[in-house]
Structure formats: structure tokens, C-alpha cells
Structure 1
Amino acid sequence: MALGGNLAGNFTSSEALLEAALARFPQAGLPVLARSRWWRSAAWPDANGNEYRNGIAIVETNAPPEAVLEALFAIERSFGRIRGAPNAPRTLDLDLIAYGRRLNDGPGLILPHPRAHERLFVMGPLAEIAPDWRHPAIGRTAAELAREASVGRDATPV
């Protein structure tokens, strides 16, 4: 799971909001096995916006991926996320990056996430906790993909 956002909402910081969201995962049937540090990166596409904070959590579940995605959306909504324009500032963005080795290209759910491998703010945190994880479609490790990422090259751990 990828977690991110650049608006603190009712929290003192984006990190505090992300911690609170992560604390809800077990209640949603998504116990956290490992998690990364929070990473920072410049706002995009408008670099004048608030910096983003991102991280990765590895969870364990027997729920089907569609149910996991719905649980993530429910957590987002509980933190005030309103899905609007793509790439707009947001309090909370939760993404299902991969579900085991499963490949899916159906409506509403693409696995693995179609752009995660290009993003340092996703692959960097993933490489931090699971450097040998292999992308199910590309076959490259998280560490390799972090080195090769072309988006969010300014991302660094907080």
C-alpha cells in the first residue's frame, strides 16, 4: 500500500495524518507487517504547493484485491478525501500498488499499479523495507526501480 498526501486537514502535519491513517489499517482487516519512513517530495504539477509526504506499508490479508481497494477508499473518505481533479492537492491518497504476484487490467483495478514503478516516492520507500520485492510484470526489484525512477527524483526520507 502506498500512502501519501500534501494537506494536513485537521492534523498538525501531513505526517500526523498519515500515521493516523496507517493506524486504521488493522481495523480495516489490513494488519501492517512492515512500513517505511515518510518521504518528502515537491508538489506536482505546481511546485508552489505544499510538499508531499509518502510512504509504503506492507499488509497481510486474505480479502480479494477489490475489497482491499474499497477498504482503502473508505479510510480515505474518513479523513476527508474527496476525489476530484487528478493530481490535485489532497489530504490522503491510498493506493494498492500490488497484490502478491497478481496481474489485473480490469475496470476499476489495475495491478500492479500502472505508474508506481516510475515514481521514486513509491519505489524509494518500498526499497527501504523490501529491496528484493519484484515487480510482477516488469520483473525488476524495488531497489532497481528506485534507482531508475523518472518521476519525483527529489524524493528523500524525512
Structure 2
Amino acid sequence: MSETPNPNIIDADTLTGEMRPIRRVVVGLGSNLGERLSNLQGAVDALADTPDVWITGLSPVYESEPVDCPPDSPKFLNAVVLIDTTLAANRLLDRALAIEDAYDRDRSDGLNAPRTLDVDLIVVGDRRSDTETLRLPHPHAHERAFVLQPWLDLEPDAQIPGVGAVKELLDKIGTDGLTRRDDLVLESDE
């Protein structure tokens, strides 16, 4: 995955004239509270409505057993969205958090508590970040079948920069506890 999927495409900011590369971004979605499919669809719609964001791929929906969650947590629905964007990673993170907040995401019970909506930046081009607020690539994506399998469905040759091929990572961890739900479909107008 390169910083710009097509190096000949550069977007110029119409106000400043600043040249900004178009980056390929992998976004992981998850929900295990409330109307799970509606929550995921709402996240897809909100991403599609974001200026300078173009949805280029939308995975099948998967149902997964909770990972590292409190006992008796409900199952998750998960999907992966591929986008192209000229937005900086920190702006994308702000947007992801705003989308979660719009779905009443409660962060008071800890990192792995049940949630109405989780919008995770998995990969932003080949950008790397290890700050308190932004870690790229996502530090646990390579351990999560509910991220790797839907991503692999969209991009069979996908790579996590600095980690490895998604297919090899998925082969290593397996898909136990993951079920493809072809009866549940997300849609994008893009």
C-alpha cells in the first residue's frame, strides 16, 4: 500500500493551493450494542458524507465473538471500509471519533467494553504514528480476524506496512469465532 494509490493523482486544496496526496485508508467498523447493522450503516453513510473522502470498497459483514471483552459481552458485527482521502490522519481520527460520538459511544467502561460503534483507522497510506492518540498501523489489527478477513475479501494482496501480508497474518491466527453474514449487507452510494 503506497502513500498515494496513483502517484499521478494529487489533490490541490482550492483555498490554499496546497498539494495533498490521496491516501488509501482502511477503516474497521464494529458494533455489539443496539441496532448493530444500523450502527455500521450509519458509520458508512457518515464516512461517505465526509468532504475529501471517497469510499472505494465495502466488505461483507461478519459476526464475531468478543475479543478481550468483559464476560457475557454480546457478539459484534464487523466490516471494513476502504477509502481514498486527502485528509490528514489526525483529521480522519477526529472524524472517526465524531462518528462514534454520534452513536453514543461510551468510553467510560474501558477500552474493550461493549459499544454501539467502533470506527478504527487500521492503515492510513504508509503513515506510521505512535502517539498517545494515534497509532498507525492499528496496533492490534494483525491479531484480529474480524479486521483481516473482511479486508482480505476486498484486497487479496493487502499488506499492513511493517507487519506483513494480511493473508499470511490471517492464516497464522485463523478465523475461529468469525462468521460471514451474507444476510446482512451494507450499502454505499459512492
Could you tell me the TM-score, scaled by structure 2's length?
0.75
Paired with 1:15 and 1:26, the residues of 2 have a C-alpha distance of 16
1:97 aligns with 2:122: yes
When you count strand as a share of all residues, which structure comes out higher? 2
Aligned match for 2:54, one of 16, 31, 38: 31
Q: Which runs of 5+ in 1 are unaligned?
A: none
Q: Is this contact kept in 1: 2:124–2:136, CA < 8 A?
A: yes
Displacement after TM superposition at 1:43 (Å)? 2.7
Partner residue, 1:6? 32
Partner residue, 2:149? 124
Paired with 2:125 and 2:45, the residues of 1 have a C-alpha distance of 22
Q: Which runs of 5+ in 2 are unaligned?
A: 1-26, 182-190
Write out the 4+ residue segments of structure 1 that deviate beyond 4 Å after TM superposition: none
Paired with 1:49 and 1:58, the residues of 2 have a C-alpha distance of 28
Q: Percent identity?
A: 31
Aligned positions, number? 152
Deviations 1:7-33 (A, max 9, x none): 02xxxx311221122111122233211
Query: What is the root-mean-square deviation of aligned Cα atoms in Å?
Result: 1.5
When you count helix as a share of all residues, which structure comes out higher? 1
Residue 167 of structure 2 aligns to a residue whose secondary structure is helix
Partner residue, 1:71? 95
Deviations 1:27-63 (A, max 9, x none): 2233211010111112343452211111100011111
Which residue identity is paired with 2:79?
G
Could you tell me the TM-score, scaled by structure 1's length?
0.89
Higher alpha-carbon Rg: 2
Partner residue, 1:20? 42
Paired with 1:47 and 1:122, the residues of 2 have a C-alpha distance of 21
